[in-house]
């Protein structure tokens, strides 16, 4: 009886097992169908971006849109591109539009990322859209193009302090800063925004456990750059900003680094004493 009971149970298990190849084949077919639907959906999505971006580019080239309308179109389309939103860790369209609107004559700016440097200065004329480019989905399997929204650049006339190698004191100079529209949200534009940034200044430190740069990480350099930038803006004519909070943060940074230097000296001295002791013992 026990053997017949076990045989019946084993037969039931085998019957269920016999269904696995068929289920696997059905699953394979469903995966293939899902991949085809996904590819079709991605194609439709990409085409929709190409059409919208192409329309924006055409109207920009024809000069029928104002610079603000062009920026708005690019910013809103970028906020609809999931790959761009993921890269920027959120939507930035609203800040892009706000910052472009703020680029008006006599307005101070910090952090305009143009070319190989970051600019600080006073805007001398309204910013203009320099170019608009559309992206097309790549059909080349060896070239991955994840972004679909259009991109472009703007030109910002700026009066800034430009250091010269042969001159002791840097002089004010009129320049045109060209930057990607995607860089606009990271700039600080307007005296009120700059003052708020200064008032929020705080010294921070932490540990970097990476293999490339192990040790302590601080924002000391950033604080010093900010103070120098405020100094330049004052030289260029911006109304004075109280830098007390920023100065206090830098004082804390100086104190922190002074303590770290002393600690390193003590550690090195102790290790030297320990090494010297071991040497003297071994010599005996």
Which H, E and C letters describe the chain, residue by residue?
A: CHHHHHHHHHHHHHHHHHCHHHHHHHHHHHHHHHHHHHHHHHHHHHHHHHHHHHHHHHHHHHCCCCHHHHHHHHHHHHHHCHHHHHHCCCCCHHHHHHHHHHCCCCCEEEEEEECCEEEEEEECCCCEEEEEECCCCCCCCCCCCCCCCCEEEEEEEEEEEECCCCCCCCEEEEEEEEEEHHHHHHCEECHHHHHHHHHCCCCCEEEECCCCCCEEEECHHHHHHHHHHHHHHHHCCCCCCCCHHHHHHHHHHHHHHHHHHHHHHHHHHHHHHHHHHHHHHHHC
Name beta bridge partners: 227: none
For residue 6, what pLDDT is reported? 61
Mean pLDDT (the chain) is 84
* pLDDT at 267 > cutoff 80: no
Model pLDDT, residue 154: 97
> Which distant-in-sequence residues (6+ apart) come within 8 Å of 49 by Cβ?
77, 80, 81, 135, 148, 149, 150
Q: Tens digit of pLDDT for each residue in 62-118?
A: 999 999 999 999 999 999 998 899 989 999 999 999 999 999 999 999 999 988 889
Higher pLDDT, 140 or 261: 261
Whole-number pLDDT of residue 5: 54
pLDDT tens digits, one per residue of 32-55: 888 888 777 777 778 888 889 999
Confidence of residue 143 (pLDDT cuts 50, 70, 90): low
The model's pTM is 0.75
Q: Residue 23: what pLDDT?
A: 82
* Closest listed residue to residue 77, CA positions, set 134, 146, 17, 8: 134
**In angstroms, rounded to a whole number, what is the distance separating the alpha carbons of residues 266 and 196?**
40
Task: Using the predicted structure, report yes or no on whether residue 284 has a pLDDT greater than 50.
Answer: no
pLDDT band at residue 130 using 50, 70 and 90 as cut-offs = very high
């Amino acid at each position: 009886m026990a053997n017949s009971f076990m045989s019946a149970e084993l037969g039931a298990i085998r019957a269920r097992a016999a269904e696995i190849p068929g289920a696997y084949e059905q699953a394979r077919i469903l995966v293939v169908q899902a991949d085809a639907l996904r590819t079709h959906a991605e194609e439709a999505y990409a085409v929709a971006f190409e059409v919208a971006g192409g329309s924006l580019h055409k109207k920009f080239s024809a000069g029928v849109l104002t610079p603000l309308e062009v920026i708005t179109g690019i910013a809103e389309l970028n906020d609809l591109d999931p790959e761009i939103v993921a890269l920027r860790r959120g939507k930035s369209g609203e800040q892009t539009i706000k910052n472009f609107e703020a680029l008006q004559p006599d307005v101070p700016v910090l952090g305009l990322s143009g070319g190989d440097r970051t600019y600080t200065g006073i805007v001398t004329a309204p910013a203009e859209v320099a170019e608009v480019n559309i992206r097309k989905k790549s059909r080349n399997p060896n070239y991955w193009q994840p972004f679909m929204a259009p991109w472009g650049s703007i030109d910002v006339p700026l009066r800034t302090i430009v250091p010269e190698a042969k001159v002791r004191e840097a002089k004010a100079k009129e320049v045109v800063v060209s930057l990607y529209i995607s860089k606009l949200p990271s700039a600080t534009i307007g005296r009120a925004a700059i003052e708020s940034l200064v008032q929020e200044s705080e010294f921070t430190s932490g540990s970097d456990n990476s293999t490339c740069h192990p040790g302590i990480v601080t924002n000391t350099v950033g604080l010093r750059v900010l103070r120098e930038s405020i100094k330049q803006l004052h030289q260029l004519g911006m109304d004075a900003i109280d830098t007390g909070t920023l100065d206090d943060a830098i004082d804390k940074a100086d104190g922190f680094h002074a303590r770290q230097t002393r600690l390193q000296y003590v550690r090195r001295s102790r290790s030297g004493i320990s090494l010297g002791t071991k040497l003297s013992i071994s010599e005996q």
